[in-house]
Amino acid sequence: MVKIIVKFEKTAVCVEEPLHAVARVDGVDVEVQGAADMVLTMADGTYHVEELKVGLAPATDELRRRYRLQAQVYQCVLNQQVDPAVSVEARVTTVGAVSETYAARSPAGLGTLLQQRE
């Protein structure tokens, strides 16, 4: 995995940013590991988690739910790693034959997200 950091007008962009955390789910510690496609640190200090997907056909509601959950988990993990006063936003962007962008706000904690059932 290659980590690229680019600065553009006071915005830092990290590609394939590793994110790790431990959350308690049903009394068991669960380790969460992943890599956000992009984490942007904006000039005002806020963070933006960007999950990028390639769409060759319109996404189903179930696929959008899974993509949103992935971005929400990364958002929660990053929230645990930065100053609590700093805002962390997340969104999913699909590019390709079908393009769309939607927010993946997570009001719940990481443990709550991991407990979600179908």
Q: Which residues of the chain fall short of a pLDDT of 70?
A: 1-9, 106-111, 113-118
- Supply the pLDDT for residue 71: 92
- Supply the pLDDT for residue 118: 47
Each domain of the chain, given as residue ranges in start order, spans 4-115
- Supply the pLDDT for residue 53: 94
Mean pLDDT of the chain: 83
Of 51, 24, 54, whose CA–CA distance to 35 is shortest? 51
- Coil, strand or helix at 99: coil
- Supply the pLDDT for residue 105: 76
The matching CATH number, chosen from 3.40.50.300, 3.90.320.10, 3.40.50.800, 1.20.1250.20, for 4-115 is 3.90.320.10
Structure-token match 């993509």, residue found = 67
- Supply the pLDDT for residue 111: 65
